[in-house]
Amino acid sequence: MRAALRSSSNSAAVFRPLRPWSGFQAALLGLVAGAAWQVTQPALWRSQDYAALLFAGLALVGAACIAQRRAHRGVVWLLCVLAAACAMAAGCGARALAYQSQALDAALEGRDLRLTGIVAAMPEPAPWGMRFRFAVEHAEVAAKGQGAAVRAPALIELSWQGPRAGERAGAQAGPMPLTPGERWSLTVRLKAPHGLRNPHGFDQELWLWEQGVQATGYVRLGKAQARPQRLAQTGRYPVARLRQQLRDAIVAPHDADPAWQRARGVVAALVVGDQGAIDHRDWELFRATGVAHLMSISGLHITLFAWIAAALLGWAWRRSARCCLWLPAPTVALVGGVLLALAYALLSGWGLPAQRTVAMLAVVAGLRLAGARWPWHQVWLLALAAVVLADPWALWQAGFWLSFVAVGVLFAASARDEGAAQGLRARALALLRTQAVVTLALTPLSVLLFGQVSLVGVVANLLAIPWVTLVATPLALLGMVWPSLWQLAAASVLPLMAGLAWLAQAPAAQLFLPAAPAWAGLAAVAGGIWLVLRLPWPLRLMGLPLLLPALWWQPARPASGSFTLLAADVGQGNAVLVRTQSHSLLYDTGPRYGPQSDAGQRVLVPLLRALGERLDVLMLSHGDNDHIGGAAAVLRAQPQTALRGALDPQWPQSVQRSVTACVAGQRWAWDGVAFEVLHPLPGASASAAATAPNTLSCVLRIVGANGATALLAGDIERAQEAELLAGRAPLRADWLLVPHHGSKTSSSAEWIAAVAPRHAVVQAGYRNRYGHPAAPVMQRYRAQGVNVVTSARCGAALWSSAQPLQLACERRSKPRYWQSGSVSVN
């Protein structure tokens, strides 16, 4: 990549940098600023408001022209920034309004629809079936006769599930083979894109928004539905079809050795960008060693590919004098390298990192072809503005910032060392120095974005970058010409993975830090950049103090006698984090979503790390999947945790023996906060755990020093509620975890009256198949004046005993216009 950047600066063209106060440079800054402002808005404006903002930008352009004639350079610069910011914000808002207008009609959610459309991308196989993108051509309400036509979003994401456990695999039970470009008629159920919303969590709704997906759903395969029907093979999406053929050819040979099969998955990711082909255990290894960015088609791969392609094209073109007379070899190499990089990016699936890289390469190539040799920071700014202009919402993506900080450091290093590296030894040392500089500069940014840093990452990258980019990736790409090389590419991956596994076993290979506030994170990023500047070391070391706030940051904890509850958004399941001044307890761990995914891995472990929590107790209310599904992942990440309550029979005996069963009457105190188990009652039949686990749910009561009380009720049903009422258990509480997710079998009127909560939280998945929470249950709570919220609409819910009247919802406290249920300001 350094060579590519250096080649862009070694042109014999005339040096024509932008003046520091030029209007064009100001406009580039304004474009980025306007996009950054617009994408942080909680709601969209009206279309006429965006039109007014655009006219304001035009008026500012006129004012800048007047100021230019009067030689007010600073005023001109500021007016250009504001004009570009207004225009960009207006354009971005108008695009968002147009996109939002095509969203799925809320009346169609949960209804059977018959869709005709085309498979628009390479299907992603999964243990439970497959997931695929579908371009809708026609939609109608599913009916025995001709259904009424309806409007559906242009692009949706569907899952096609196989038979569930205990279900006979019949003709309609499993997914049929799909190929991009095929036209199908399917019966589906759709819903608006809806993701989990937790502090410091992944925003799936934004990710789907950027992908252009405006509905998700699943293929209906019941006896009452018409069967899926393949209608024709069209000529659309030929690149996606080629990607599928290549992926299948790479991973199709099933080796007896699982390590070989997993290595083939890495090769498939390097060729066609299918990250799902990489085993989840290997992803954990790559993240632990800081090389995950290498194991799928990234900007580094595409840039290297462009450089190699340009070098080969230039060499071949110079072999013909006639060709050189017709068109100079450097021009052919430059244009051809960018076009071939574009082809490789399309083959990789045209993901956002690939789009950003191609945009940056096109900017550099365009400047060189135009005969402009700008300073690196101006080239960097132009590339940044070009990418933001194409995709303003990329500003929310961690990969965007990692890419541009890395590119900026590489630009600076290339400009600084231009012409310095002569000979193989000098070039090798320059490569190592650049790698060290990039790693040092990106480490604070990784801490800010992910809350973690690989302490073995420098060594791992020094080994992995040249091996993956110069050995594994070229072999994988050449396999498209000679398929036997794919086996050799897989063989090259095996020793690398073995070396990474050895590094990952080092003590403290990863460092996890609590999520620092933005000011501390930005100071750390500035400190990292300062450390790599070409300054005397005494001046460089002045950047070290800027790192300290982010490295030593500790989130605020409750005062003595107080506690907080964070009801995490885990979908259809329970998970509540209880924090006192120096202790923490996790009540349930949410569901297992699939064979390789659960709430512990996806939500709770990242959340605990971001909050800097070290669990003292994990209390599992009972043995249902939606309560213990994430327990194994939590225990792996927090092995010191003591277990209470239910246990999973599949756990090792050593773990099962360490579980303390819940029994009414158990009490303890932490930091002036009292904990008491109210259920199950002593003498409850243990055999019920297998046949009716809800009846043995652990009910936990927590009381602060000021009397503020919380009650976590698990999945108890009306019979257990009646037992607690008859036993005169202390049920009065300010905050209640609604029993059994708001099921009809729980929350009797007598129970609600006895608890009399101010706030009640229902943890249930969005449009879940159980119908939780039941409408009559919600009516009973509201009839008694209870503020009842659901995790599907609230996201994670935060409550503090120090302020018992307040309940904070993640979706309400940090609203964004692309979120489910958001509307424009009309």
C-alpha separations of 74 from 31, 174, 814 in Å: 18, 66, 36
Task: Note the pLDDT of residue 825.
Answer: 42
- Compute how many other C-beta atoms are within 10 angstroms of the C-beta atom of residue 239: 18
Task: Note the pLDDT of residue 381.
Answer: 87
DSSP E strand boundaries for 162-287: 182-191, 216-219, 229-233
Global model pTM greater than 0.95: no
Task: Note the pLDDT of residue 374.
Answer: 79
Q: What does pLDDT average to in each consecutive run of 10 residues of the chain (826 residues)?
A: 43 47 84 95 95 95 83 83 96 96 92 96 88 96 81 96 56 76 96 95 93 94 88 94 93 78 92 88 89 76 81 89 88 92 88 79 85 79 88 88 78 58 64 74 84 85 85 90 92 94 87 90 88 83 91 93 98 97 97 90 96 96 93 93 78 70 94 96 64 87 98 96 95 98 96 97 95 96 96 96 96 90 46
Structure-token match 């101010």, residue found = 758
Task: Note the pLDDT of residue 436.
Answer: 75
Euclidean distance between CA atoms 795 and 269, whole angstroms: 33
Task: Note the pLDDT of residue 165.
Answer: 45
User: What is the Cα gyration radius of the chain?
Assistant: 29
User: What token pair was written down for 289?
Assistant: 């060693």
Task: Note the pLDDT of residue 8.
Answer: 41
Distance of CA 601 to the CA centre of its chain: 13
Would you call 707 exposed, middle or buried from its count of C-beta atoms within 10 A (0-12, 13-18, 19+)?
A: exposed
Task: Note the pLDDT of residue 265.
Answer: 92
3-class DSSP assignment, residue 226: coil
- The count of C-alpha atoms lying within 13 angstroms of the C-alpha of 768, restricted to the half-sphere facing its C-beta, is 24
The two beta strands, 709-712 and 735-737, are: parallel
Euclidean distance between CA atoms 92 and 425, whole angstroms: 49
Which of 292, 621, 700 lies closest to 460 in space, CA to CA? 292
Please answer whether residues 337 and 371 qualify as being in contact, where contact means their C-beta atoms are separated by less than 8 angstroms: no
C-alpha separations of 684 from 664, 687, 689, 717, 810 in Å: 10, 9, 10, 15, 38
